[in-house]
Amino acid sequence: MEEQKKKDELPVLMGRRTFLDYCIGGGIAAWASLTAYTALAFLWPTKQSMGEEGGEGIAIALSEVPVDDSKKIGYKGKPIIVIRTAEGVFALSAICPHLGCLVNWHAGEKQIECPCHAAKFDLRGNVLGGPAPAPLLSYKAEIINDQIKIG
Ligand code: FES
């Protein structure tokens, strides 16, 4: 009887329900932070993921960009997208002129698309649709021997 009375008088620091609320809230906050970080890392690549920074001109092996495919590389500190089709090779800024997301090549539609707000561009960087206010910057690109020379 005496012992039961002592148990009832012990201070409760945190109730079970409050503890679970904190755990669930912390889990949701951690998940939201990780999701936001992953999305931002995808949209704004690091210098390392952009590849080497070039000087005046750079070259990449032709085999790195198969026909109807593309590759993003760094050129003068900025990401560019190199696209190879049956028509030749094209090098364009990979930065969407709308809000700066990285664009992607879609071989099926034969156009470049921005994943953020669906701006569309042709192989020369001209705007085909969407909110982009200007074309993609275009760089000189040509195939010489087994290399794609840019710049
Ligand atoms: S950032 Fe590319 S369409 Fe908006």
Tens of pLDDT along 36-80?
888 887 776 665 555 444 457 899 999 999 999 999 999 988 999
Question: Using CA atoms, how far apart are residues 32 and 19, in angstroms rounded to an integer?
Answer: 20
Clarify whether residues 80 and 121 are in a common domain. Answer: yes
Residue 131 in contact with ligand 1 by CB distance below 6 A: yes
Ligand 1, atom nearest to 130 Cα: 3
Range of the domain at 129: 48-150
The predicted pLDDT at position 8 comes to 63
- 7 and 37 share a domain? yes
Rounded to whole angstroms, how far apart are CA atoms 121 and 140?
Answer: 17
pLDDT digits (tens, 9 = 90+) for 77-126: 899 999 999 999 999 999 999 999 999 999 999 999 999 999 999 999 99
Could you give the number of structural domains in the chain?
2
Pocket flag, ligand 1, residue 135 (CB < 6 Å): no
Same domain, 29 and 55: no
- The CB of 81 under 6 Å from ligand 1? The reply is no
Shared-domain flag, residues 78 and 142: yes
CA Rg value for the chain: 26
Same domain, 93 and 38: no
Structure pTM? 0.67
Mean pLDDT, residues 8-14 = 69
